[in-house]
């Protein structure tokens, strides 16, 4: 069976900017996400720059990571920035209570993470500690990072090796304040946000976009209460949603062993992002009709059962073609709602949850998810072209999903790019492009797929899932089952 899909667009029309930060990533002090994953220290035998692995840096540079969120997650609300500055040998060793109860040496602190972000050529999203910190601690951290004056704090930064202030693109006021960040009500959080945000002061023009800690999954109350009541400057409200195949935190589902039913369940769960974004955006439209407040999906991705034999608190999981398809489905949704969704962060960058990179000692591999980030980099800062899509459904028993979703945009290089994902693991799709004001005959780019839905890259076989070149005439455009395609129209 073949699905019929028609995309209709007037290529003269323009939609919202697809902000490059939609393709952001999250790096928490969790498991081997920071230590081993990106940081091995300057004395390591693993080739590194300022302690950061060259292999991982090069891989991440190749997909143009625009934004890195740090230090958490739940970790952020227990992080005290003073623990992570000054002589690394004298930094206090803490217990990472959220993630495996392991020792946190604080070897990576503010200076180191900005080194990493600068080596990547990315921007910084720093998440402040609202849950167990203080107004003064947060205000002083921001002063330490951004002040250009001769204040004692700015001079301490200089003494620690950094003359110029850093730029902070986004600053989060707490994380998951409904849960690990303090188990608050949204009303209580509103008052705290106003109080904390009042004291975040920077030199003119250096103010980060401030992020309110919002809700998750089907909840819309946090978006509603925050957008209706926060009086201090707030650029956006965070929102978290994870793809658990079984939608059950006690039995999430296996990362690499799954069948057609699990595949559908995963797609069904991930596609709820559509309704959840719509519902949250409806609250924003009501409370902020001028469209000033963004919806920042600063944690998203697949979350499976821990791998047997590994520390469960490290959240290490493998990554298959299914994760690649999940990535493209989410990107197409973020692009669809880009009017409000200006920034997102996949959880997480290396060795944790839906990672781009997995490491094993000195070895590393890139995952199917990594490749989708690479393929979609043409959409960073592109201008969306509005379209409608008429797609047959991907039917599974009584349930159904769209078989194909898409993104269409004019890139910063002036070319028009089309992304297509086929959610159906069994049936290919025939794609008709009904474009006006366009004169294209070919689509050229990259295709990611595999015969096996469970295909993955391992340390023994690193290139099982990787994109291949693709070129097809528009009169004969077929999208294989369970595939992601990104191409330039010619
Ligand atoms: O990404 C892992 C954790 O998931 C984060 O620390 C937390 O914010 C969320 O619950």
Q: What is the pLDDT of residues 38-91, one digit of tens each?
A: 999 999 999 999 999 999 999 999 999 999 999 999 999 999 999 999 999 999
Q: In total, how many domains does the chain have?
A: 2
Here the CATH number for the domain that contains residue 467 is 2.60.40.1180
Residues 348, 423 within the same domain: no
What pLDDT sits at residue 409?
98
> Read out DSSP for 121-167?
T-EEEEEE--SSS-HHHHHHHHHHHH--S--HHHHHHHHTT--SPPP
Please report, rounded to a whole number, the percentage of residues in the chain having pLDDT higher than 90.
Answer: 99
Q: Would 406 be classed as within a structural domain? A: yes
Q: What is the mean pLDDT of residues 441-456?
A: 98
What gap in Å lies between CA 272 and CA 268, rounded to an integer? 7
Owning domain of residue 72:
19-381
Each residue's pLDDT tens digit, 180-230: 999 999 999 999 999 999 999 999 999 999 999 999 999 999 999 999 999
pLDDT interval class at 244 (50, 70, 90)? very high
Which of 355, 381, 407 is the endpoint of a domain? 381
One domain, residues 107 and 137: yes
Quick one: 423 and 346 in the same domain? no
* 463 inside domain: yes
Cis preceding linkage at 73, omega within 30: yes
Q: Are residues 458 and 373 in the same domain?
A: no
DSSP state of 229: H
Q: What percent of the chain has pLDDT over 70?
A: 100
Strand 399-402, strand 468-473: pairing: unpaired
Determine the average pLDDT of the residues in 412-418.
98
CB crowding 427-443: b at 16 or more within 10 Å, else e: bbbebebebeeeeeeeb
Predicted pLDDT of residue 49: 98
Using alpha carbons only, what angle is made at residue 323 by residues 412 and 116, rounded to the nearest 5 degrees?
60
Residue 131 shares a structural domain with residue 181: yes
Q: Is the pLDDT of residue 231 over 90?
A: no
- At 249-284, the pLDDT tens digits run 999 999 999 999 999 999 999 999 999 999 999 999
Query: Is there a single domain that holds both residue 264 and residue 133?
Result: yes
Q: What is the mean pLDDT of the chain?
A: 97
Decide which of 357, 381, 405 is a domain's last residue: 381
Q: Residue 221 domain-assigned?
A: yes
**Is there a domain that residue 14 lies in?**
no
Residue 426 lies in a domain: yes
- Report the alpha-carbon distance of residue 224 to residue 6 in Å, rounded: 36
Query: Is residue 436 within a helix (H) or strand (E), and if so which, with residue range?
Result: strand 428-436
DSSP codes of every residue in 189-209: HHHHHHHHHHT---STT-PPE
Residue 373's CATH number: 3.20.20.80
10 Å CB burial of residue 84 (0-12, 13-18, 19+) is buried
Residue among 140, 268, 299, 428 flagged as catalytic: 299
pLDDT for 56: 98
Q: Annotate 70-124 with three-state secondary structure.
A: ECCCHHHHHCCHHHHCCCHHHCCCEEECCCCCEEECCCCCHHHHHHHHHHHCCEE
Same domain, 416 and 314: no
Q: At what angle do helices 110-120 and 135-146 cross, to 10 degrees?
A: 50
Distance between CA atoms of 455 and 467, rounded to whole angstroms?
Answer: 13
Mutate to test the pocket of ligand 1, among 213, 347, 355 (most ligand atoms within 8 A of CB): 347
If you measure from the C-alpha of residue 70 to the centroid of ligand 1, how many angstroms do you get, rounded to a whole number? 12
Q: Select which of 78, 104, 143, 176 is catalytic.
A: 176
- Residue 299 is a catalytic residue: yes
Q: Which atom of ligand 1 is nearest to the CA of 353?
A: 1
- Regarding whether 304 and 254 lie in a shared domain, the answer is yes
Same domain flag for 197 and 234: yes
Q: What would the pLDDT profile of 78-133 be if each residue is shown by its tens digit?
A: 999 999 999 999 999 999 999 999 999 999 999 999 999 999 999 999 999 999 99
pLDDT band at 232 (very low <50, low <70, confident <90, very high): confident
Tell me the pLDDT band of 369, cut-offs 50, 70 and 90.
very high
| 73 Cα: distance to centroid of ligand 1 (angstroms) | 5
Residue 68 forms part of a structural domain? yes
Both 355 and 407 in one domain: the answer is no
Q: Could you identify the atom of ligand 1 that is nearest to the CA of residue 99?
A: 6
Confidence (pTM): 0.98
Same domain, 152 and 274: yes
Domain-embedded: residue 182: yes
Residues in contact with 373: Cβ distance below 8 Å, sequence separation at least 6, in sequence order: 23, 63, 65, 327, 346, 356
Q: Report the pLDDT averaged over residues 463-470.
A: 98
pLDDT of residue 1: 86
Rounded distance from Cα 179 to ligand 1 centre (Å):
10
Residue of minimum CA distance from atom 5 in ligand 1: 73
The ipTM value here is 0.99
Last-in-domain residue among 352, 381, 410: 381
**Backbone angle region of 159, left / alpha / beta, with phi > 0 → left and psi within -120 to 50 → alpha:** alpha
Distance 314 CA to ligand 1 centre (A): 11
Catalytic site residue 176?
yes
Residue 401 belongs to a domain: yes
Ligand 1 pocket by C-beta < 6 Å: which residues?
28, 72-74, 175-176, 299, 347-348, 353
Residue 142's pLDDT is 98
pLDDT value at position 260? 98
Give pLDDT, residue 333.
98
Nearest CA to ligand 1 atom 8: 73
Same domain, 107 and 250: yes
């Amino acid at each position: 069976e073949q699905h019929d899909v028609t995309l209709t667009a007037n290529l003269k029309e323009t939609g919202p900017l697809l902000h490059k930060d939609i393709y952001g990533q999250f790096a928490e002090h969790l498991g081997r996400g920071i230590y081993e994953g990106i940081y091995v220290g300057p004395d390591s035998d693993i080739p590194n720059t300022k302690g950061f692995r060259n292999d991982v840096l090069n891989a991440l540079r190749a997909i143009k990571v625009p934004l890195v969120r740090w230090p958490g997650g739940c970790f952020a609300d227990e992080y005290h920035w003073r623990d992570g500055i000054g002589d690394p040998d004298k930094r206090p060793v803490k217990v990472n209570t959220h993630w495996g109860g392991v020792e946190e040496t604080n070897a990576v602190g503010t200076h180191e993470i900005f080194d990493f972000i600068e080596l990547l050529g990315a921007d910084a999203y720093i998440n402040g500690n609202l849950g167990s910190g203080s107004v003064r601690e947060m205000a002083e951290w921001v002063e330490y990072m951004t002040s250009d004056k001769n204040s004692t704090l700015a001079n301490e930064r200089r003494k620690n090796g950094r003359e110029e202030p850093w730029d902070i693109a986004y600053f989060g006021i707490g994380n998951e304040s409904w849960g690990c960040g303090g188990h608050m009500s949204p009303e209580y959080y509103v008052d705290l946000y106003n109080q904390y945000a009042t004291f975040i002061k920077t030199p003119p023009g250096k103010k980060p976009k401030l992020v309110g800690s919002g809700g998750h999954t089907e909840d819309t109350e946090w978006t509603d209460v925050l957008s209706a009541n926060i009086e201090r400057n707030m650029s956006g409200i965070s929102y978290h949603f994870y793809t658990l195949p079984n939608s059950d935190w006690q039995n999430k589902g296996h990362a690499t062993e799954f069948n057609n039913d699990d595949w559908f369940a995963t797609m069904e769960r991930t596609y709820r992002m559509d309704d959840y974004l719509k519902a949250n955006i409806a609250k924003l439209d009501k409370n902020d009709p001028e469209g000033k407040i963004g919806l920042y999906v600063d944690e998203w991705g697949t979350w499976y059962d821990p791998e047997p034999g590994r520390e469960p608190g490290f959240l290490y999981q493998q990554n298959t073609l299914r994760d690649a398809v999940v990535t493209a489905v989410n990107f197409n949704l973020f692009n669809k709602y880009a009017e409000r969704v200006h920034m997102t962060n996949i959880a997480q960058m290396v060795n944790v949850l839906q990672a781009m990179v997995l490491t094993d000692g000195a070895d590393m591999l890139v995952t199917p998810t990594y490749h989708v980030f690479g393929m979609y980099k043409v959409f960073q800062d592109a201008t969306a072209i509005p379209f409608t899509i008429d797609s047959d459904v991907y039917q599974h028993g009584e349930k159904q999903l769209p078989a194909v979703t898409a993104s269409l945009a004019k890139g910063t290089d002036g070319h028009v790019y089309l992304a297509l994902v086929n959610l159906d693991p069994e049936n290919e799709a025939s794609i008709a492009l009904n474009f006006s004001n366009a004169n294209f005959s070919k689509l050229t780019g990259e295709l990611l797929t595999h015969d096996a839905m469970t295909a993955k890259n391992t340390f023994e076989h690193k290139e099982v899932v990787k994109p291949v070149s693709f070129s097809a005439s528009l009169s004969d455009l077929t999208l294989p089952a369970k595939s992601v395609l990104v191409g330039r129209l010619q």
